[in-house]
Amino acid sequence: MNTSTNSNADHRLICTVDVVLLTLRDAQLQVLLIKREREPFAGALALPGGYVHASVDQDCADAARRVLHDKAGLPSPYLEQLASFSGPARDPRGWSVSVAYVALVAAPQAPQPGQHWLPVDELPQLPFDHGRIVANAVDRVRNKSQYSSLPVHLCAEPFTLPQLHGIYEALLGEPINAVSFRRKMDELGMLEPVPGAKLAQGPHRPAQLYRLRDEYRRTLSLAGRGLNA
Amino acid sequence: MNTSTNSNADHRLICTVDVVLLTLRDAQLQVLLIKREREPFAGALALPGGYVHASVDQDCADAARRVLHDKAGLPSPYLEQLASFSGPARDPRGWSVSVAYVALVAAPQAPQPGQHWLPVDELPQLPFDHGRIVANAVDRVRNKSQYSSLPVHLCAEPFTLPQLHGIYEALLGEPINAVSFRRKMDELGMLEPVPGAKLAQGPHRPAQLYRLRDEYRRTLSLAGRGLNA
DNA sequence: ACAATAGTGTCTCTAAGACAATATACG
DNA sequence: CGTATATTGTCTTAGAGACACTATTGT
């Protein structure tokens, strides 16, 4: 191979995005995996991902949204950059960089053919370094749930405080004091009651429904000292 | 241009690393900028950065260490991935992805020719999107300083608690209760006194010198609820 | 009215801040 | 000894958890 080929291979790299789309089903954090149609690893379950297309994507986040739309059939849920993963061995096609994103959705629509929701704690071996990426994403989400409003993106609006409480508990895997929880949600100031709307769940007092304030739809609200779960 | 060129340009992208090397000088957080020798932006001050070399780098962190060594003449200080920045416009050479890193050093050796330490709060316009990258890095460092041992990497070992205290205060820009600070450092459990070593600074009681425990040389220690500065 | 869950009031306990007391060096 | 900073002891105060009480619905 000649020098120019070499320097080209050296400077222009395989560049992909991978999306860790998480949701809460059966009180478990689950991740969307897609059956790969092409090599490498055709037939295996893997994260939705794909090449970054310089000609169509404005940036990597844009590529992630495109992948999410094309492979998961989703509009734009909460999306946050996780980290980049790189190296010569992670993709058999060669030295590559993958910019990984975490996305959260509330309503896990019935999976289309080829889509699978699997609990993050019971994953099989995944191709590429997707196992590591998922683990990284789960760490981030669990950690951030301790002191931010992140989990609201796992909850379909409008929702009640007891529902949100349950989501925090499922994520953190431990009980959270209900009084403190209400105090925290209150001081985070990100929720507003839906006037008059209550949710009756049985022969007892119905719960007030809340929605996210518009200001917090793209921004998280951070608590001073966590939920101390 | 033909299809294969097109798809090549589309799938193989310009991939660089940029390093935000920070230190504390004159009680100010400062960043290392390098006078660029080549186009684009030759002559301008910019972050040390460069292409990722598939043939020599094991991953992007490796590329960042190489850049740091070549352009800043530094061994491997504390290094942490910050985020990736991408898009068609950030680099005039074309659609690019840059994986940015934050690095921290204690002793700001006298800058070599072409190297400049500038306070992060008084930066000129920087080329590429380096202004944004620095701002992002500074946010991260200041934020993480609130609840972790990160700032010890800005302190030459061994150091005294009053010195470290001063570093935290300089970073966070507000006074920290000295008693709470000691309690926190104690419970973080990352420091060990250097037996018998004290630092006399004048006609008064000298301070105990400490060093970082080996276990925490690469890992940070996290506090339960921050320093509540 | 009863059962069951939603939401509140308030006491307790933990941990952060304030402040004062003690320790130790150099002169 | 006197001074200046290091270090510790302990009181005060803010916020998290526990627990009991009130509120509101369907039956």
| Residue A223 domain-assigned (yes or no) | no
Domain containing B168 — which CATH number? 1.10.10.10
Note whether A99 and A6 are within 8 A (CB): no
What percent of chain B is modeled with pLDDT above 70? 93
Sequence-distant (≥ 6) Cβ neighbours of residue B218 within 8 angstroms: none
Q: What is the mean pLDDT of residues B220-229?
A: 69
**Chain C bases near protein CB atoms (7 A cut-off):** 2-10, 15-20, 23-27
Cβ of A6 within 8 Å of Cβ of B55? The answer is yes
Give the tens place of pLDDT for each residue, A166-189. 999 999 999 999 999 999 999 889
User: Cβ distance A149 to A220 under 8 Å?
Assistant: yes
Q: State how beta strands B159-160 and B78-87 pair.
A: unpaired
Do A99 and A15 share a structural domain? Answer: yes
Is the domain of A186 the same as that of A100? no
Confidence category of residue A196, pLDDT binned at 50, 70, 90: confident
Domain count for chain B, please give it: 2
Q: Which of B35, B85, B37, B42 is nearest to B60 (CA)?
A: B85
Q: Torsion angle, CA of B74/B76/B82/B83, rounded to 10 degrees?
A: 90
A185 shares a domain with A88: no
CB of B84 less than 8 A from some CB of A:
yes
Per-residue pLDDT tens for B149-191?
A: 999 999 999 999 999 999 999 999 999 999 999 999 999 999 9
pLDDT at A11 over 90: no
Which of B16, B11, B119 has its CA nearest to residue B67? B16
Q: What is the pLDDT of residue B11?
A: 76
Q: Measure the N-to-C terminal CA separation of chain B; round to a whole number of Å.
A: 59
pLDDT per residue as tens digits for the range A67-82: 999 999 887 789 999 9
Q: What is the pLDDT of residue B223?
A: 79
What's the pLDDT tens digit per position in B85-98?
Answer: 999 999 999 999 99
Q: Answer whether any strand C atom is within 7 A of the Cβ of B228.
A: yes
Query: Could you report the per-residue pLDDT of A13-45, keeping only the tens digit for each?
Result: 999 999 999 999 999 999 999 999 999 999 999
- DSSP H or E segment with residue A3: helix A3-11
Residue from the list B10, B55, B97 with its beta carbon closest to the beta carbon of A53: B10
pLDDT (tens digit, 9 = 90+) per residue, A90-116?
999 999 999 999 999 997 778 889 999
Q: Is residue B210 part of a domain?
A: yes
Residue B108: domain span: 3-140
